[in-house]
Amino acid sequence: MAKTVVITNQKGGVGKTSTASAIASGFLKKGYKVLAVDLDPQGNLGFCLDAEIDNSPTVYELMKGTARIGEVIQKKGGIDIIPSNILLSGAELEFTKMGREFLLRNGISSVRDNYDVVVIDTPPALNILTVNAYTAADCLIIPMVPEILSLLGISQLRETIELVKSVYNPRIEVLGILLNKYDRRRVLTRDVEEMAEMVAKELKSRVFKAKIRSSVAVAEAPAHGESIYQYSARSNATRDYLDFIDELISEKGMKLHGKKKQ
């Protein structure tokens, strides 16, 4: 069964979608079979992976029960993607029945054995979509930028993680905190990194050794319909993401055994 990885932080602008896209494409590059799930109503992960967003069934229809899993999966560049769009923004009010926390997990359960890794991108909020992602997850990756407000966003995640772990999904764990837009030369970066280490310990986790340096290529790649690895193979961020993928593969919490053919 696939290892399900959720990219999460309630604060926007910390590189969640860039991280989700880089992880999905990075595992594909390493030969693993990947399912990417966009759970953000903005639909940015689907856009990054070149999915059809507006005229095809999405994760919204899957969770609502009006489309089957085979109808919502799109195959794009070797990655299977379940896209999202603005219809999902009403989930908090629309999905009100008992068991609504399990809609995503139940929706993808029949195909999880077909993949090595499932990567889920989440909205910048702590709502029913985030809870659905956590309920479906094996592990969480928390991206942040070296800023105080980004650090505060992580601290506020802990209560939601503990709630989901105690009620819906006892197996969930935080793999680590990933620092994006990293510049070691800045004093603030070094200060926030030290504080991030402290927060990670509270989450019984750590800060990843790999740090993602700033690069315009990260923002430019989606506009060209390419992954960061295709668009700018020699950029600092590309090398950093490849180091991060290698770190994830060696991570005990991932427990990836073998590879499946694409």
Q: 170 lies in a domain?
A: yes
Token pair recorded at residue 5: 């990885």
Among the ranges given (85-89, 182-186, 192-196), the one the predictor scored with the smallest mean pLDDT: 182-186
Place of tokens 């790649």: 221
Give the pLDDT of residue 107.
Answer: 97
Full residue range of the structural domain in which residue 238 is found: 3-249
Say if 142 falls within a structural domain. Answer: yes
Q: What is the mean pLDDT of residues 14-43?
A: 96
Residue 191: pLDDT band (50, 70, 90) is confident
pTM: 0.93
Q: Report yes or no on 99 lying in a domain.
A: yes
The answer to whether residue 260 is domain-embedded is no
Where does the pLDDT of residue 262 fall: very low under 50, low under 70, confident under 90, or very high at 90 and above?
very low
Q: 114 and 33 in contact (C-beta within 8 Å)?
A: yes
- Cβ neighbourhood burial of 16 (10 Å; 0-12, 13-18, 19+): buried
Residue 242 has pLDDT above 90, yes or no: yes
- In this predicted structure, what is the pLDDT of residue 261? 45
Do the domain assignments include residue 27?
yes
Give me the pLDDT at residue 249, please: 92
CATH number of residue 128's parent domain: 3.40.50.300
pLDDT for 158 equals 87
Write out pLDDT tens, residues 203-221. 999 999 999 999 999 989 9
**pLDDT for the residue 234:** 92
Per-residue pLDDT at 170 exceeds 50: yes
Please tell me whether residue 231 adopts helix, strand or coil conformation: helix
What is the pLDDT at residue 150? 75
Render pLDDT for 70-119 as a digit per residue (tens, 0 to 9). Answer: 999 999 989 999 999 999 999 988 999 999 999 999 999 999 999 999 99
Q: What is the mean pLDDT of the chain?
A: 91
Structure confidence at residue 259 (pLDDT): 52
Residue 76 lies in a domain: yes
How many angstroms separate the CA atoms of 45 and 37, rounded? 8
Number of domains observed in the structure of the chain: 1
Q: pLDDT category, 59, cuts 50, 70, 90? A: very high
Instruction: Please check the confidence at residue 248 and state whether its pLDDT lies above 80.
Output: yes
pLDDT digit string (tens) for 109-149? 999 999 999 999 999 988 999 999 999 999 999 999 888 87
What sections of the chain are H helices per DSSP? 16-29, 44-48, 59-64, 69-72, 91-94, 103-108, 128-136, 148-167, 187-202, 216-220, 228-231, 236-250
Establish if 11 belongs to a structural domain.
Answer: yes
Asked if residue 259 belongs to a domain, the reply is no
